[in-house]
Structure 1
Amino acid sequence: MASVTSSLAFGITASTTYETSPYALARKFSTLDHLTRGRVGWNVVTSFLDSAAKAYGFDEQIPHDERYARADEYMQLTYKLWEGTWTDGAVVKDPVSGVYSDPSQVRAIEHDGKYFRSTAASQLPASRQRTPLLFQAGASPAGKQFAAKHSEVMFLPGLEPEKTRAIVEDMRNQLTAQGRAPDSIKFIAGILVIVDETDEKAQAKYEEYIAQSDLDGVATLFGGWTNNDLSKFTDDEDFAFAAVGGIQSMISSWSRTVPNSNGLKWTKRRVLQELALGGAHPRAIGSASTVADILERWVDVAGVDGFNFSYAVSPGTFEDMIEYLFPELRRRGLIWEDYEVAGGSARENYFQDGEGPRLRADHPGRQHVWTGEKE
């Protein structure tokens, strides 16, 4: 895909808990950044499933906050490798002398920390971005603190724009506390769009998709998210009052935002139907005008910078958006077809601030930049 596109960025998820060698991960992303001409991003996760821990040879999961402490050191080591082992002038490529790189401009870094140890130089010359564009989706206090320190793009939870705005404001305050500019993270809300010619047709399409959903699979997915086995609950029990962790806040939001939900019991089947399409993210269902209004409200009220669109069916959901929604968004001047930097890197295309493909000056990874001077 990179070979036939010029602006599309590729965000790749990798776990700091189970990608156990920061050196190997740094090498992979450097390779990808070279191959994509600077259009690669890393979605940093710490993982949360017991099954994943056992699959990777752990008897049990590393405790939650320790996973983030470990991830912080992991990031520091990758920054050292990406930013601190090759100078900008290290690559000579002199065919006469046969010299590819100036050895005085390449060095090994040493890292001896609580969780990781490494003495190495990057095997690859510095790529266009060096450090890939950094994505993250932490929702816990430790996750938000990690994001405020490291993230450049943050995926946000929340079913209502008012509540999501509180998260955005809190994160901007945390960015300031970390010594970063309050606009140094782009905030992305997850959302499912079901769009058609009219509101009625879109709603009918949504109900058809719901009818085809595998609710047992949804229950299994929810169990993985929350560690709750829904099979022990009866089908008609009202979950608004059941002691099921991770569901009360969703039901509270659904009661305010889902059409025709007032006074109805939130039974297990109904909860699973709500989760079946879009998961724990909001939905925008309707005509192009209706959906565009919803998206605009999220931008205006929540203060988000963009959206992570999920799909109900494939092919189908995205094709409908292209046919019905995008012309309306273009008419409103809300999307564009080009970027300020032709063939720009992922970082340049996300920020469009004229500061180039490298980490911004206030990012902690920049402290590891090496200019060739002896230390």
Structure 2
Amino acid sequence: MPREIRLNAFEMNCVGHQSPGLWAHPRDRAWQYKDLEYWTDLAKLLERGKLDGIFIADVIGIYDVLNGNGEAAIRQSTQVPVNDPLALITPMALVTEHLGFGLTASLTFEHPYPFARRLSTLDHLTKGRIGWNIVTSYLDSGARNLGQKALGGHDDRYDYADEYLEVLYKLFEGSWEEGAVLRDREKRIFSDPSKIHEINHLGKHFQVPGIHLCEPSPQRTPVLYQAGASNRGKQFAAEHAECVFVAAPSKVILKNAVADIRRRAAEAGRDPYQVRIFNLQTVILGETDAQAQAKWQDYKSYVSYEGALALISGWTGIDFGQYRPDQVLKHIHTNAIQSAVEAFSTADPNKQWTVRELADWVGIGGFGPLFVGSAQTVADQLQEWVEETDVDGFNLAYAVTHETFVDVVELLVPELQKRGAFKTEYAPGTLREKLFGAGPRLPESHPGAGYRDLAALATQPSSKAAIA
């Protein structure tokens, strides 16, 4: 029996997401990102295709590493202008019944107390279809605009994130007991105060004494996504994440990453297969391989080299504007470049990557792999990657929107369904129930479940957050 493949659409509330320059393509709709119809049309399309969800990226700040300023990013609409992603969820939920929503929001720039209320509100309004992609941010430009000189140290940000999650778990899981909401019209009692608890959090970074402002939502804690690639990030994911997003350009790298995440999850006392792992992926589809190749050539003519360099420079923190397009990467001696060279060399050990070739790779779909072909060809490749790497599914970036997703829904999904590798109907229930086939709440093996009894916690020694 073929393994079921999970698929999300990968989007962002901006013009140029992962394919810099493609906004200029005559069939691209990304310039309509400001219009509700863009998002409601997309949501209805994705639900028609039975995709698991839409994964919405976000950044606070601009890509200003290239040439030491943000001019290239602004000129090429490289993830700027960018609007808030939270406002997209409600209208998309209104026109769908099953589609999940993976929302990216940085914990670095928002206090957990009001953020918990925003997430609970969305989980209520969507009837339990919310996931949160936990990020600690990577652009210093965002930190500067919030009064900070720069982002904190990499590992320090994850220590901060550990305590942030502790506050949220206390609010979501422990503040309101089951049965706290009575809605008793006869006695005129809506909620039972004896079953609603102040969390009394006193930690290194946060002091949150009060109760959660929201009654328990369908999932209480939203489905937790995470995309850290560093050693510390992967450890954080193994402890907290229910879905992990990676961007491996080759099967070798992806297989190693998946095995590492599952091993770490098991060491953290969790079921390693209760962690869904998604790889970044772009597909260009046609009725035939030749049609898909022609579409790819057409798309490539719109790729912005400058926009691609702005992305890569922002992601790595290295100003690629100082290097010639034909300069070989392995001759550029920085830690970040060496890791990029190592990653790409596994796909073709004999190839010497130049700056231009790296920009061409990133130009359509970012760092993830690109598959071009008929539905049959691409389905073969997706199944091969799942079988050989143990990945659960893919976050599908677009080249041209909504065209890429129309092709996925009308060409690729039916082919995968015919093979028994993709669902023909949604499972009932919340996003967590659809993804894992169990209940709507965090499983008992998840660390968040340990905060359900705040009274018992109060008798135990201080948390690591409080004594850090």
Amino acid at match of 1:30: S
Match of 2:220 among 104, 107, 130: 130
Report if the CA contact (8 A) 2:252-2:347 is conserved. no
Residue aligning to 1:350 = 435
Task: Name the residue aligned to 1:317.
Answer: 404
2:182/2:189 contact within 8 Å kept: yes
Separation in 2 of the partners of 1:191 and 1:153?
16
Q: Does 1:182 align with 2:267?
A: no
| 1:87–1:372 contact (8 Å) kept in structure 2 | no
SS at match of 2:149: coil
Aligned length: 367
**Alpha-carbon shift at residue 177 of structure 1 (Å):** 1.4
The answer to whether the aligner puts 1:7 opposite 2:98 as a matched pair is: yes
2:125 corresponds to: 35
> CA distance change for structure 1 residues 82 and 174 in 2, over 3 Å: closer, same or farther?
same
User: Per-residue deviation at 1:254?
Assistant: 5.0
Is there any run of 5+ residues in structure 1 with no aligned partner, and where?
A: none
Partner of residue 169, structure 1:
259
Q: What is the Cα deviation at residue 33 of structure 1?
A: 0.7
Give the drift of 1:247. 4.4
CA distance in 2, matches of 1:270, 1:166: 24
Matched with 2:413 is 326
Give the TM-score taking structure 2 as reference length: 0.75
Match of 1:300, as an amino acid? E
Contact 1:236/1:267 (<8 A) preserved: yes
2:104/2:135 contact within 8 Å kept: yes
The answer (yes or no) to whether the contact 2:285–2:375 under 8 Å persists in 1 is yes
Judge which range, 243-252 or 127-136, deviates more: 243-252
Number of the residue aligned with 2:369:
282
Q: TM-score of the superposition, structure 1-length normalised?
A: 0.92
CA distance in 1, matches of 2:255, 2:436: 20
Match of 1:112 in 2: 202
Q: Gaps (5+ residues) in structure 2?
A: 1-91, 460-468
Aligned to 1:48: 138
Q: CA deviation at 1:256?
A: 6.5
Q: Which amino acid aligns with 2:436?
A: F
Asked whether the equivalents of residues 159 and 250 of structure 1 are also in contact (C-alpha less than 8 Å), the reply is no
Tell me whether 1:221 sits opposite 2:311 in the alignment. Answer: yes
Per-residue CA distance 1:217-254 (angstroms, 9 max, x = gap)? 11111110111112211233233433365445555665
The letter of the residue matching 1:349 is K
d(CA) in 2 for partners of 1:123, 1:178: 31
Change (3 A) 1:262 1:149: closer
* Residue identity matched to 1:175: A
Shift in Å, 1:127: 0.8
Segments ≥4 residues shifted beyond 6 Å = 371-375
State whether residues 161 and 301 of structure 1, in contact with CA within 8 Å, keep that contact through their aligned partners in structure 2: yes
Aligned-partner Cα distance in 1 for 2:237–2:200 = 25
Q: What's the CA shift string for 1:109-153, capped at 9, x where partnerless? A: 101111111101011111110000000001111101101111000
1:215–1:273 CA contact under 8 A, matched in 2: yes
